[in-house]
Structure 1
Amino acid sequence: MPEQTPPDRGQLEDFLDRYDRAAVKAAHEVILSYSTSFSLATRLLEKQVRTDIRNLYAMVRIADEIVDGTARAAGLSHGEIAAALDDYERAVLAAPGRRFHVDPVLHAYAVSARRCGFNPEHVTAFFSSMRRDLNQTTYDEQSFEDYVYGSAEVIGLLCLSAFLVDHPVTDAQRSRMEDGARSLGAAFQKINFLRDLAEDSDTLGRAYFPGLAGHELTEEHKADLIADIRADLAHARTVIPLLPLSARTGVLAAAELFTTLTDRLEELPAAELTSRRVSVPRRTKLAILARAVATARRMTHTS
């Protein structure tokens, strides 16, 4: 039987490039299935940045699904879910060191983690917050801050790493942008907590906001939460002009989408927030994106 001629190096690279593209498409489909607003905002990022952000968020989404009921719905016990999260954390942390993964989402994440230099300490902090969701149902002020840092602020920092590839900045600029990234991540998380009160409480048995467990959301409490969210958003906006244009438009669009969502949450009585999920109509979303394109290009900053 004649020996088969092995493929040359060029052919092998073609195989890997094709798999890279397929993995990126898989990551995009994961995000598209769970968040239309996020998918719309990422369209305004430069192509490579868009790919990296989607790859990152697809990994985050998988971790969320492990702890947010999907694994339980599949029949996994609490111990099995905890083990699955541990396994996934180890896989994610090790992913950048391997060039091929049988899991397309993990493969796509690894491609971006290498390119962007994602800080493994931020990844570890993220999984620490996800682990809280397995065992903790109520929060005080300190544990709430810790949870938001790991679940959202470090994601902002990881996104910033993607934004700044090939865009050197001064230490002072990076420090300001890191503060802004954390504020924007925190705002997004708090907004999602507020709009998901019913699901978190009734389905998952969680009360993230301190002082809310076992109590109805009062108008005074809601006003305090909205004020806190607006303060985070306002601080983040001061930093957006520092971002490269390749990222600035998409970040601005996301910030404006969540600001509009905050406006809608503020308009509703507190009691309604515990029984319905607020959203922004698609037509409004598209108008926000169009304004972001024009506004981002006019933004200027000083060092």
Structure 2
Amino acid sequence: MTGRRDDEVTGLALYDRTAEDAAAAVIAAYSTSFGLASRMLGPRVRSHVRNIYALVRVADEIVDGPARSAGLDAETERRVLDDLETETLDAIDRGFSANLVVHAFARTARECGIGGDLVRPFFTSMRTDLTTAQHDGASHDAYVYGSAEVVGLMCLQAFVNAGEGAPRQPEPRLVDGARRLGAAFQDVNFLRDADHDAGALGRDYLGASTREEVLARIDADLDAAAEVIPLLPADCRRAVTAAHDLFAALAVRLHGEPEPEARVRVPNPVKALVAARAWLGFSPRSARA
């Protein structure tokens, strides 16, 4: 038994709030750019998007180094990842998990209509990182769908359904835009991290695709996504515009530095300008502007 004041939040409400605080802490520790964009989300959706990305981050860490640094071999990493997937799907069904990040995600999934059709492809791509070092065009596309496009679709479910009662399916134009924005984000990161992925992780996600081909795909995906961002609910548009424009700025720098000597970044003053433009309601920028 634990003592409490009568005016304190207790029981499931306290557990829910603690789970969401844990998810927010994960995001704050791992991504400053995401934190910048997420602060522009309206309160209706902000915690849901943090909950989604916190689970994604934990799964990434299982396959991208920390688990191996802790002494896990590939078979054990696979088992830990499988357990996380099972726990996530079970938590969505039952509404509770002893894992705070999973609990936060499950709350979002139940409210916003995120089901196994999106969760399973994500974990499938995460498992690919344990088994596939060299990708071709087909395996790249499958990996990007599970690792990035479905994350965009999860966020779209939150944008459309948070606080709205029974979840509904977003319209096809929004679905296509969410997928293409997620794909662009992932391909930008593949180019930025190519040296690290090859040297530290032994992975080549882009295969035979040339740098020019990847950049052309990124530009097309960013421009397609920009066309549908104005169709999003008003309390989501600024944040998605900011995220889009941050990656458009990265793409411009990748175009300008064919063989960068260091990981391409957006300088803080440019980030501030991107945030200001988005906050003031400017339309998403062209990928080549």
Deviations 1:17-50 (A, max 9, x none): 2222221111111111111001110111111311
Letter in 2 for 1:252: T
Residue of structure 2 in register with 1:199 after alignment: 196
**CA 1:103–1:156 in structure 2 vs 1: closer, same or farther (change >3 Å)?**
same
Matches of 1:265 and 1:238 in 2, distance apart?
Answer: 22
Alignment of 1:73-222 (within 5 A): 73-165=69-161, 166=164, 174-211=171-208, 221-222=210-211
Instruction: Work out whether 1:253 is the aligned partner of 2:242.
Output: yes
Give the unaligned 5+ runs of structure 1.
213-220, 299-303
Matches of 2:125 and 2:66 in 1, distance apart?
Answer: 17
Matches of 2:241 and 2:20 in 1, distance apart?
Answer: 24
Instruction: Work out whether 1:15 is the aligned partner of 2:11.
Output: yes
Residue of structure 2 in register with 1:223 after alignment: 212
Alignment of 1:285-296 (within 5 A): 285-295=271-281
Letter in 2 for 1:17: A
Cα distance, 1:170 vs structure 2: 9.7
**CA 1:260–1:20 in structure 2 vs 1: closer, same or farther (change >3 Å)?**
same
Cα distance, 1:11 vs structure 2: 8.7
Identity %: 46
If the length of structure 1 is used for normalisation, what is the TM-score? 0.86
Cα distance, 1:96 vs structure 2: 1.7
Is the CA contact (8 Å cut-off) linking 1:119 and 1:158 kept in structure 2? no
Instruction: Work out whether 1:48 is the aligned partner of 2:34.
Output: no
Is the CA contact (8 Å cut-off) linking 2:111 and 2:165 kept in structure 1? no
Matches of 2:76 and 2:49 in 1, distance apart?
Answer: 29
Residue of structure 2 in register with 1:267 after alignment: 256
Is the CA contact (8 Å cut-off) linking 2:111 and 2:167 kept in structure 1? no
Cα distance, 1:138 vs structure 2: 0.8
Is the CA contact (8 Å cut-off) linking 1:45 and 1:247 kept in structure 2? yes
Is the CA contact (8 Å cut-off) linking 2:113 and 2:167 kept in structure 1? no
Matches of 1:174 and 1:20 in 2, distance apart?
Answer: 30
Matches of 2:19 and 2:282 in 1, distance apart?
Answer: 31
**CA 1:247–1:142 in structure 2 vs 1: closer, same or farther (change >3 Å)?**
same
Residues matched between the structures, number:
280
Matches of 1:266 and 1:296 in 2, distance apart?
Answer: 24
Matches of 1:169 and 1:75 in 2, distance apart?
Answer: 42
Is the CA contact (8 Å cut-off) linking 1:248 and 1:296 kept in structure 2? no
**CA 1:69–1:297 in structure 2 vs 1: closer, same or farther (change >3 Å)?**
closer
Deviation beyond 6 Å, 4+ runs, structure 1: 10-13, 167-171
Letter in 2 for 1:288: V
Matches of 1:167 and 1:45 in 2, distance apart?
Answer: 19
If the length of structure 2 is used for normalisation, what is the TM-score? 0.90
Cα distance, 1:13 vs structure 2: 7.0
Matches of 2:278 and 2:78 in 1, distance apart?
Answer: 41
**CA 1:283–1:195 in structure 2 vs 1: closer, same or farther (change >3 Å)?**
same
User: C-alpha root-mean-square deviation of aligned residues, in Å?
Assistant: 2.4
Larger radius of gyration: 1
Instruction: Work out whether 1:61 is the aligned partner of 2:50.
Output: no
